[in-house]
């Protein structure tokens, strides 16, 4: 089967098929301001197949036929192969520059989906929390409880302090792979990784969990930023 024309992998009448979900979710993320100007996106892994949107395109106008499909895990690299695909769009589209970072969530957390946003709430959080971690506590119980330990485990307790590591930005997205992986090892309970002046990566067991956790975290970044700017404490001691 040629990777170039295997449309069967992305053509489905099921609205919950990953190739249909990714365009729909990206349109919704565009409304939320998460994927402005071609940035950001979502990947979905179903068993041994990973569905990823192309890079550098208007995320609110993706079609199912634009989706890349990759095998998971990837075959061992050889001198002759770079990344291996089950399907590439026939259009001249590039794979997402986020691919190596999404892969971290599969390799280190067995995630089923990973979302990357450029939400201004996430970016402002990385500017106002100048250290290596964003912390907030006692906020909107359901928001904190909506976040799972390590992104894929049990729900946090309202009495836990939420911690999301912040890594430094780099000129090329691919170069974030190692520092993201390090942060995931150092903060094994974190459901996401912030990138300074850039955005956030959040993962979950499936697309629903990845999406709702991204919403919870984005909510917490937003309210945290508002609290900081209003001079309110964001972590309480009890």
Annotated binding site for Zn(2+): 116, 118, 198
Q: To which residue do tokens 């709430």 refer?
A: 121
Distance, CA of 109 to CA of 38 (rounded, Å): 27
In the complex with its own copies, which residue's Cβ is closer, 72 or 158?
Answer: 158
**Cα 65 vs. chain centroid, distance in angstroms?**
21
Q: Where are the alpha helices (DSSP H) in 160-206?
A: 176-186
Q: Which residues bind its own copies (CB under 8 A)?
A: 36-40, 56, 58, 118, 120, 123-124, 127-128, 138-143, 146, 157-159, 169-173, 197-199, 208, 211-213, 215-216, 218-219, 222-223, 226-227, 229-230, 232
* 3-class DSSP assignment, residue 103: helix
**To the nearest whole angstrom, how small is the minimum distance from the Cβ of residue 48 to its own copies?**
26
Q: Which residues are annotated as a binding site for substrate?
A: 98
In the complex with its own copies, which residue's Cβ is closer, 82 or 238?
Answer: 238
In the complex with its own copies, which residue's Cβ is closer, 69 or 164?
Answer: 164
Burial of 180 (C-beta count, 10 Å sphere; 0-12/13-18/19+): buried
Structural contact between residues 185 and 108, judged by C-beta atoms closer than 8 angstroms: yes
Residue 65 makes CB contacts below 8 A (sequence gap 6+) with 7, 10, 11, 89, 90, 91
In the complex with its own copies, which residue's Cβ is closer, 138 or 177?
Answer: 138
Q: Which long-range contacts (CB under 8 A, 24 or more apart) does 78-84 make?
A: none
């Amino acid at each position: 089967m040629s990777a170039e024309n295997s449309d069967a992998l992305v053509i489905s009448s099921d609205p919950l098929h990953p190739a249909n979900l990714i365009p729909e979710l990206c349109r919704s993320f565009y409304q939320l301001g998460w994927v402005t100007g071609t940035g950001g996106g979502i990947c979905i892994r179903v068993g041994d197949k990973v569905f990823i949107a192309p890079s550098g395109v208007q995320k609110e106008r993706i079609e199912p036929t634009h989706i890349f499909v990759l095998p998971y895990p990837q075959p061992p690299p050889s001198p002759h192969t770079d990344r291996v695909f089950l399907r590439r769009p026939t259009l001249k589209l590039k794979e997402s520059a986020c691919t190596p970072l999404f892969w971290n969530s599969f390799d280190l957390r067995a995630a089923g989906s990973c979302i990357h946003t450029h939400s201004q709430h996430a970016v402002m959080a990385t500017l106002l929390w100048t250290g290596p971690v964003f912390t907030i506590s006692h906020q909107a119980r359901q928001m904190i409880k909506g976040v799972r330990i390590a992104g894929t485990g049990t729900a946090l307790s309202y009495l836990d302090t939420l911690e999301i590591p912040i890594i430094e930005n780099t000129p090329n997205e691919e170069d974030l792979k190692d520092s993201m992986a390090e942060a995931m090892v150092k903060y094994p309970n974190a459901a996401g990784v912030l990138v300074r002046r850039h955005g956030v990566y959040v993962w979950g067991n499936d697309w629903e969990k990845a999406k709702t956790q991204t919403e919870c975290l984005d909510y917490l970044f937003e309210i945290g930023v508002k609290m900081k700017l209003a001079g309110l404490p964001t972590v309480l001691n009890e």
